[in-house]
Chain A
Amino acid sequence: MTTRKRRPATKRTAIERVRRPSLDRRGPIRDATNYLRDSDSWTEKAPRDNPRQEGAGEHSSVGSFDDVVTQGVKLGYKVIEQYITQGQRVAEQISRPFQKGVPEAGTADVVHGMVRLYKDMADVWGNALDLMVRNPVFWSWLGSSAQNGVMHPQNGVPGTLNGSGAAFSVEIASPRPTEVMLNVEPSPQPYTPFVHALHAPERNVPPLTSIAFQKSPKSNMPVLLLKIPLKQPSGLYTGVVVDRETNQPRGTLTVRVLPAKR
């Protein structure tokens, strides 16, 4: 509080002067924790005045971390699927003009658009990964998950996915010859792999959906189980390997279904 020490006026010294009170702060608070709140009352205290709950994430009003990840990645996958659909359309349009001799109007735009969209998606996933690994809640969640049976990082031990590479068994149930290419990025942290549907470039070709990673009960090694339906058209099928729990991208899976040998 502002104070004044009174003495006879004629003997005042500098010490007696009234001084401004000390202030709690000297500038506005402009960060997101202040203005992202969507309060019901102007007079309510800003989040900065409320002690944060430990592990509540960057913005407590945002919802749980899982919600963010789930919704975000879900959205991301819908986007990916959309791109794949667009890619199929592009492929159709590209193939058609060559057959007819005259390119269809707008095809070039679509191609350029696809290039841009794929570049965007690379950024999306890169940023999503960055967002994820920078979040302490993720690590604490991961730690608890690991204790519940998810594969642990154990360098050099078969059956783990870790920074030094991965060892897999592959079990394929296919009526025709099939090649499998699994490209998984090294990761210092444990995760459970998962693959969404594998798509062919052609729009009208049904995706491969019977894909799963499991742990072998005997060896505890990860096993990629792949089942190719009897009527599955020959061709190249691709998809993204992700962390099952977080949907973080971890690599790609490519399956080439060859024509039946005669």
Chain B
Amino acid sequence: MNRADCIKVAVIGGGCASITAAFELSRPEHQGKYDITVYQLGWRLGGKAASGRGPADRIEEHGLHVWLGFYENAFRLLRECYAELGRDPSTCPIAEWRDAFCTDHEIGMADKSSRGTWLTWTAHFPPADGLPGDPLTTHNPFALGSYFSRAAVLLQALLFDVKTRGGARTEDTKPSEMPDQSTESVTAGIERLLQYGSVMTTAGLLEALTLLQVLFKTLPKLPDTILTPFIENVAEAVRRQLENIIVDDDEARCRWEIIDLVIAIFVGAARFGLLFHPKGLDAINDYDCREWLRMNGASERSLDSAFMRGLYDLALAYENGDRKRPALAAGQGLRGSLRMFFTYRGAMFWKMRAGMGDVVFAPFYEVLKRRGVKFEFFHRLQNVKLSSPKGRASEDSPPYVEALEFDVQAKVRGRGEYRPLRNVQGLPCWPSQPDYRQLVDGSRMQRAAVDFESHWNRRRVGRKKLRVSRDFDFVVLGISVAAIPYVCKDIIARDPKWRDMVTHVKTVATQAFQIWLYDEMPQLGWMTPPVTLSAFTEPFDTWADMRQCASQESWLEHPGAMAYFCGVLADPSQGPIPTSLRYPTQRHEEVRRNAIDFLNQQVHHLWSNARGPKGTFRWELLMDANKRPGRLPRGESDERRFSSQYWRANVNPTDRYVLALPGSLKYRISPLDSTYDNLTIAGDWTDCGFNEGCVEAAVMSGRLAAHALSKSPPLEEIIGYDHP
């Protein structure tokens, strides 16, 4: 297609949603119809999921990123990307998408035991059929029948595969056989269960749960009016049994708490008519998840369980980063849980073998470049300028984006193109710092340690203004919602929907640190397989054992263990984000202090051997990438050693994580919204069908944005968009 006839698309931002939109619009099927340019702040793509390579080529992430086994859209696109990339496995260590991930079947939770000590436990989630991103040709996973047939597997796993550290596996009881699924059999089962006392035994309880699974699967054949009272009766009987058992046995307590919560979900789904509600699970989004479960009979003990806290932790669901204000919209929380537990394929968790930038954004960058997509790095969006009413065909004509105004942060030498990737052991990677050699005045910038990604550093070397029709036709606005107020003043001033969105769709700052250790995990005292663990103590409630990444780094001595920790970071108690240049530095130092205190005071609950004789962390365990191998003598080690590790305070508006607060989701705007006839939005903060911050939501949103501009992909191909 002639360049002049192409439709020019300006994609703002290089995160998951933006890159997805660019990938969709540049598909060969479009035959070059769209002339796409991605405008990116700083030197790398990735947004909140950007990563870099630091000293010893160590991977430095914004935070902990784990892909879940239900990320169907994300995996599908990434698999297509790798297939199109066609890397040579003899020269590139991550040539195929399967090289990029390892599976993790263990989910871990930390909880206070009845004796007041921390107890950690893990549950094994068995591999599920297929792989994420496989064509869904055999069964619709989003039917309730599928969910609850998987529910039985979950409950059986929890009942029989949960084990506490140092403890034996629970009784070697086999789950009851799946009963005949005919209505007659279900009826007979209900009859038996209504006999008082039949669910008071373990066998009876198992039978009840198995029958519930069948009941839900055959739900359409049974009136809801029969189902609801039955579920409530069974649930009450189950709970009476649970409350009698959970006095002293920590292991049984964990199991029963989860069962109690699942039962509450069943009861609530029936009571609130979710099974037939036209809004699906969105019907309960004004409730907080815990509040809703409490209404449906969940015990306080269960609501404060590790499992429950873990769900909030994984969603970073703490308003303003305040641990005392957990908040998660019930419908979305339930949708996320159902998807997480019941629709995963292959494994529940998929951990990347290198940085997310390396595994995801570098391949996409290379493929998009081949397709002719242009990238303009070092472009900070300053303003989205709307058309004035005078400039429109009539005053009733829809408004549109007239201009995009950027600060240019740096210029490339020789007016050339910035080449952002560098090779690490055969793998194209993003560096943690820009390649100053390519930049005009790069040496001076390097000495000044210019932070191109900082919201507070407004250094620029020029300005650029793109005009509609001349420079762009369509805009994909793919920056974080927390940055919208700074760049969309025109829109917010005239549009109450946008004002509501930026008011109610809130974000949270996060903190993260990574450490590299000489000792392996068993030496540190963690004996179970690599795990992703949540519900641990603040401020770093989530930990992932990332030992699988070690081989991709370039240490002179191979690290024994690698650990990533993350959690929310409380906002200042009053007012908006401070404007002081010192603010990000102060928060960075705060995170350093938090990490040191955490290692000194808390981590021994996970790694019992990481505590020294003085009761504090053994700092000599940490590896320093800038020094020769070798441990510090015990007498010379102290917490200053931590400065050699990596930590972040994600306080930039573009780095903040979007929340799914109760009552807030209705204020999200869809990428399909056409108020502005040449603008669409993209990001996990949009109304994208899965309204919770994650890679999958961002990818869905990016696909929706592409659909908004091109009607492709069809909405039916956006997996899980039409979902209860």
User: Smallest CB–CB gap between B267 and chain A, Å?
Assistant: 13
Stretch binding the partner chain, chosen from B54-62, B215-223, B477-485: B215-223
| Residues of B171-229 whose CB lies within 8 A of A | 183, 187, 190-191, 194-196, 219-226, 228-229
Interface contacts (Cβ under 8 Å), in number, total 189
User: Smallest CB–CB gap between B319 and chain A, Å?
Assistant: 26
User: Smallest CB–CB gap between B337 and chain A, Å?
Assistant: 16
Residues of B within 8 A of A120 (CB): 229, 232-233
- Whether B436 is near chain A, meaning CB under 8 Å from some CB there, is no
- Whether B169 is near chain A, meaning CB under 8 Å from some CB there, is no
Stretch binding the partner chain, chosen from B465-473, B575-583, B585-593: B465-473
User: Smallest CB–CB gap between A132 and chain B, Å?
Assistant: 9
Which among A17, A34, A36, A113 is the interface contact of B400 at CB below 8 angstroms?
A: A17
Stretch binding the partner chain, chosen from A55-63, A218-226, A252-260: A55-63
| Given A62-B220, A78-B190, A131-B225: A26 touches B670 (CB 8 Å cut-off) | yes
- Whether A99 is near chain B, meaning CB under 8 Å from some CB there, is no
| Docked-complex contact B678 and A68, CB < 8 angstroms | no
- Whether B716 is near chain A, meaning CB under 8 Å from some CB there, is yes
Stretch binding the partner chain, chosen from A41-49, A143-151, A166-174: A41-49
Least CB separation from A18: chain B residue: B473
| Docked-complex contact B229 and A121, CB < 8 angstroms | yes
Cα of A29 to Cα of B220 in the assembled complex, Å: 19
Q: Mark B705-724, 1 if CB is under 8 A from A, else 0.
A: 00111110001100101111
Stretch binding the partner chain, chosen from A8-16, A154-162, A187-195, A202-210: A8-16
| Docked-complex contact A25 and B715, CB < 8 angstroms | yes
Q: Mark A117-148, 1 if CB is under 8 A from B, else 0.
A: 10011011001101100000000000000000
| Docked-complex contact A13 and B393, CB < 8 angstroms | yes
- Whether A38 is near chain B, meaning CB under 8 Å from some CB there, is yes
Least CB separation from A25: chain B residue: B715
Residues of A within 8 A of B709 (CB): 2, 20-21
| Docked-complex contact B716 and A26, CB < 8 angstroms | no
Q: Mark B1-26, 1 if CB is under 8 A from A, else 0.
A: 00011010000000000000000000
Residues of A within 8 A of B392 (CB): 14
| Docked-complex contact B221 and A63, CB < 8 angstroms | yes
Residues of B within 8 A of A17 (CB): 400, 468-469, 473, 677-678
Residues of B within 8 A of A41 (CB): 137-138
| Interface size bracket, B side | 35 or more
Name which of A6, A32, A83 has the most chain B CB atoms within 10 A of its CB. Answer: A32
| Given A20-B680, A25-B715, A46-B716: A31 touches B277 (CB 8 Å cut-off) | yes
| Given A30-B724, A46-B722, A79-B194: A9 touches B469 (CB 8 Å cut-off) | yes
Cα of A127 to Cα of B146 in the assembled complex, Å: 27
| Docked-complex contact A63 and B139, CB < 8 angstroms | no
Residues of B within 8 A of A217 (CB): none
| Docked-complex contact B280 and A14, CB < 8 angstroms | no
Name which of B135, B470, B670, B672 has the most chain A CB atoms within 10 A of its CB. Answer: B672
Residues of A within 8 A of B102 (CB): none
| Docked-complex contact A71 and B222, CB < 8 angstroms | yes
Cα of A86 to Cα of B196 in the assembled complex, Å: 8
- Whether A52 is near chain B, meaning CB under 8 Å from some CB there, is no
Residues of A within 8 A of B722 (CB): 28-30, 34-35, 46
| Residues of B653-711 whose CB lies within 8 A of A | 670, 672-674, 677-678, 680, 687, 689, 707-711
Residues of A within 8 A of B223 (CB): 68, 72, 127-128, 131
Cα of A178 to Cα of B724 in the assembled complex, Å: 57
Which among B196, B221, B716 is the interface contact of A68 at CB below 8 angstroms?
A: B221
Least CB separation from B712: chain A residue: A21
- Whether A27 is near chain B, meaning CB under 8 Å from some CB there, is yes
- Whether B464 is near chain A, meaning CB under 8 Å from some CB there, is no
| Docked-complex contact B707 and A35, CB < 8 angstroms | no
Which among B187, B221, B229, B707 is the interface contact of A124 at CB below 8 angstroms?
A: B229
| Docked-complex contact A23 and B711, CB < 8 angstroms | yes
- Whether A4 is near chain B, meaning CB under 8 Å from some CB there, is yes
Name which of A17, A21, A39, A79 has the most chain B CB atoms within 10 A of its CB. Answer: A17
| Docked-complex contact A30 and B7, CB < 8 angstroms | no
Which among A2, A39, A43, A116 is the interface contact of B143 at CB below 8 angstroms?
A: A39
| Docked-complex contact B674 and A20, CB < 8 angstroms | yes
| Docked-complex contact A18 and B678, CB < 8 angstroms | yes
Least CB separation from A126: chain B residue: B225
Residues of B within 8 A of A127 (CB): 223-225, 228
- Whether A75 is near chain B, meaning CB under 8 Å from some CB there, is yes
Cα of A26 to Cα of B187 in the assembled complex, Å: 42
Residues of A within 8 A of B233 (CB): 116-117, 120
- Whether A251 is near chain B, meaning CB under 8 Å from some CB there, is no
Cα of A78 to Cα of B188 in the assembled complex, Å: 9
| Docked-complex contact A75 and B397, CB < 8 angstroms | no
Cα of A16 to Cα of B470 in the assembled complex, Å: 11
| Docked-complex contact B140 and A71, CB < 8 angstroms | no
| Docked-complex contact A23 and B226, CB < 8 angstroms | no
| Docked-complex contact A30 and B282, CB < 8 angstroms | yes
Cα of A120 to Cα of B276 in the assembled complex, Å: 21
| Docked-complex contact A75 and B190, CB < 8 angstroms | yes
Least CB separation from A13: chain B residue: B393
| Docked-complex contact B678 and A19, CB < 8 angstroms | yes
| Docked-complex contact B710 and A14, CB < 8 angstroms | no
Q: Mark B129-156, 1 if CB is under 8 A from A, else 0.
A: 0000001111110111110000000000
| Given A9-B469, A20-B708, A21-B710: A15 touches B277 (CB 8 Å cut-off) | no
User: Smallest CB–CB gap between B59 and chain A, Å?
Assistant: 35
- Whether B391 is near chain A, meaning CB under 8 Å from some CB there, is yes
User: Smallest CB–CB gap between B713 and chain A, Å?
Assistant: 13
Q: Mark B622-663, 1 if CB is under 8 A from A, else 0.
A: 000000000000000000000000000000000000000000
Cα of A26 to Cα of B722 in the assembled complex, Å: 12
Closest 5 CB pairs of A and B: A30-B280, A42-B136, A127-B225, A62-B220, A72-B223
Which residues does B use to contact A, with CB under 8 Å? Answer: 4-5, 7, 135-140, 142-146, 183, 187, 190-191, 194-196, 219-226, 228-230, 232-233, 236, 275-282, 387, 391-393, 397, 400, 468-470, 473-474, 670, 672-674, 677-678, 680, 687, 689, 707-711, 715-716, 719, 721-724
* A/B interface sample: 20 pairs, CB < 8 A: A2-B709, A6-B5, A14-B393, A17-B473, A17-B677, A18-B473, A18-B474, A18-B678, A20-B677, A21-B711, A23-B711, A26-B672, A28-B689, A29-B722, A30-B278, A38-B146, A59-B220, A78-B190, A82-B195, A131-B225
